[in-house]
């Protein structure tokens, strides 16, 4: 098995099904829950919990969120920029659940277009992805919309070779990036929100990289970057991305880090589900070679790209951690591409959250700023940031 064939294991199993199934999500009524404080996130407009605010869970009486801006525009407690239909929940479902208790939360999915000709065939289920998104939205209490851009594997012929999905964007996408950035800027300018969450680009999927690059043109003080799951659940992947972005606190991933990345990837469903054993053995070795290629490609500075100084912000999601896992499980067509089962997903998420939170269950975000604030790396006095 040649190393360049290996991404077919990753992208061919996960992204191809995603590309086949994605479409316009169905909008469902949004549920607003009781207030739960999330520290170090810009304060929302005035919130009136109402007489039934003590009722926990998504069935409680809808609270009144009073906009901070007058007029017909609804003010959102937070907006999440999601490359695909599952990415926001996979990466920050706990924080979404907490923020939905304070006010409206919206998810903007970017790459969801899939022509009907591609959906044809016995394995295609056009409504599955939309149904999964609708179920997760109703469960966590957010609203969702789609911008209808085309998934990478249909957008450019080069991406039909899965080995290209995790390398640098092709020239056509680089030329198209200003147009995508302008569209996202115009879309978010029409929304009123406290904070925007955008992908950091961990894992280097080309659609995630494009969303990250486009979001860098938005208001710096209102944007937090989230670590892309499931890639961030593996050791050193976040560190490698931070190093690429020029963050001075992130060191280059060396041979020991590469070995840790290879071993962790071998434990996922991507490798463990390969049969027979000979194919699995060869596949794990080829995955390691391909990882080395990715590190050589991405651990250098892109000419002309400004350096980013990023400061960690932790959100304690312990009260809603199980709720997050349940929401992730609602994306059944996607979660089984990376995890063998729900128990496997729970182990990966729990281990990563506790490692980052020094024992607490947290989700980590990154703030782009010019100077480190006094409380960098903390959302609460008992939670300290640690390197990826």
Query: Does the structure show a pLDDT above 70 at 278?
Result: no
φ/ψ (deg, to 5) at 128: -60, -50
Residue predicted with more confidence, 288 or 200: 200
Residue with tokens 């990250």: 212
Strand partners, 368: 310
* 345/282 Cα distance (integer angstroms): 24
Per-residue pLDDT band for 45 (boundaries 50, 70, 90) equals very low
Q: How confident is the model at residue 269 (pLDDT cuts 50, 70, 90)?
A: low
pLDDT surpasses 60 at 51: no
Give the pairing of strands 196-199 and 78-82: parallel
**CA dihedral in degrees (339, 90, 292, 307; nearest 10)?**
-170
pLDDT at 173 over 90: yes
CA angle 142, 241, 338 (to 5 degrees): 60
- Render pLDDT for 78-128 as a digit per residue (tens, 0 to 9): 999 999 999 999 999 999 999 999 999 999 999 988 765 555 443 335 468
Phi-psi region of 246 (alpha: psi -120 to 50; beta: other; left: phi over 0): left
The better pLDDT of the pair 47, 324 is held by: 324
Pairwise CA distance, residues 230 & 91, whole Å:
7
Residue 370 has a pLDDT of: 58
Model pLDDT for residues 182-209, shown as the tens digit of each residue: 999 999 999 999 999 999 999 999 999 9
Q: Where are the domains positioned within the chain?
A: 3-368
Closest CA to 94 of 387, 310, 349: 349
Domain 3-368 has CATH 1.10.3720.10: no
123-156 pLDDT per residue, tens: 335 468 889 999 999 999 999 999 999 989 889 9
Residues 234, 261: contact at Cβ < 8 Å? Answer: yes
Task: Please tell me which residue, 1 or 231, carries the higher pLDDT value.
Answer: 231
**Lowest mean pLDDT: which of 52-66, 200-214, 328-342?**
52-66
DSSP states of 86-154? THHHHHHHHHHHHHHTTS-EEEEEEEEE--HHHH-STT--HHHHHHHHHHHHHHHT-EEEEEEEEPHHH
Query: Of how many residues is the chain composed?
Result: 388
Q: Which two tokens stand for residue 52?
A: 């039934």
Confidence of residue 339 (pLDDT cuts 50, 70, 90): confident
Q: Is the peptide bond before 156 cis (omega within 30 degrees of 0)?
A: no
Residue 248: the pLDDT is 79
């Amino acid at each position: 098995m040649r190393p360049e064939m290996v991404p077919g294991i990753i992208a061919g199993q996960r992204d191809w099904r995603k590309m086949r199934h994605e479409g316009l999500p169905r909008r469902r009524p949004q549920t607003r829950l009781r207030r739960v404080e999330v520290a170090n996130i810009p304060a929302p407009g005035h919130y009136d919990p109402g007489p039934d605010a003590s009722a926990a869970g998504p069935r409680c009486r809808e609270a009144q969120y009073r906009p901070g801006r007058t007029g017909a525009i609804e003010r959102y407690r937070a907006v999440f920029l999601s490359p695909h239909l599952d990415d926001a929940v996979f990466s920050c479902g706990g924080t979404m659940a907490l923020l939905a208790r304070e006010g409206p939360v919206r998810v903007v999915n970017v790459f969801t277009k899939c022509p009907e000709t591609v959906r044809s065939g016995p394995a295609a289920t056009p409504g599955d992805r939309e149904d999964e998104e609708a179920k997760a939205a109703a469960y966590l209490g957010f609203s969702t919309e789609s911008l209808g851009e085309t998934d990478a594997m249909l957008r450019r012929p080069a991406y039909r070779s899965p080995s290209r999905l995790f390398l640098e964007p092709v020239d056509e996408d680089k030329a198209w990036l200003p147009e995508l950035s302008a569209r996202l800027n115009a879309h978010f300018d029409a929304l009123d929100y406290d904070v925007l969450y955008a992908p950091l680009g961990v894992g280097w999927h080309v659609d995630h990289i494009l969303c990250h690059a486009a979001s860098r043109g938005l208001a710096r003080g209102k944007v937090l970057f989230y670590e892309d799951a499931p890639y961030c659940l593996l050791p050193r992947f976040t560190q490698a991305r931070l190093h690429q972005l020029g963050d001075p606190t992130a060191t280059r991933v060396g041979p020991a880090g590469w070995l840790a990345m290879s071993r962790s990837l071998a434990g996922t469903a991507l490798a463990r589900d390969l049969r027979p054993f000979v194919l699995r053995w060869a596949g794990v070795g080829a995955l390691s070679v391909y990882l080395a290629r990715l590190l050589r490609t991405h651990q250098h500075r892109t000419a002309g790209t400004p350096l980013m100084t990023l400061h960690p912000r932790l959100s304690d999601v312990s009260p809603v951690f199980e709720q997050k896992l349940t929401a992730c499980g609602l994306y059944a067509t996607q979660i089984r591409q990376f995890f063998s089962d729900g128990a496997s997903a729970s182990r990966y998420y729990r281990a990563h959250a506790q490692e980052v939170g020094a024992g607490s269950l947290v989700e980590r975000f990154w703030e782009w700023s010019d100077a480190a604030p006094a409380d960098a790396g903390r959302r609460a006095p008992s939670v300290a940031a640690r390197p990826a």
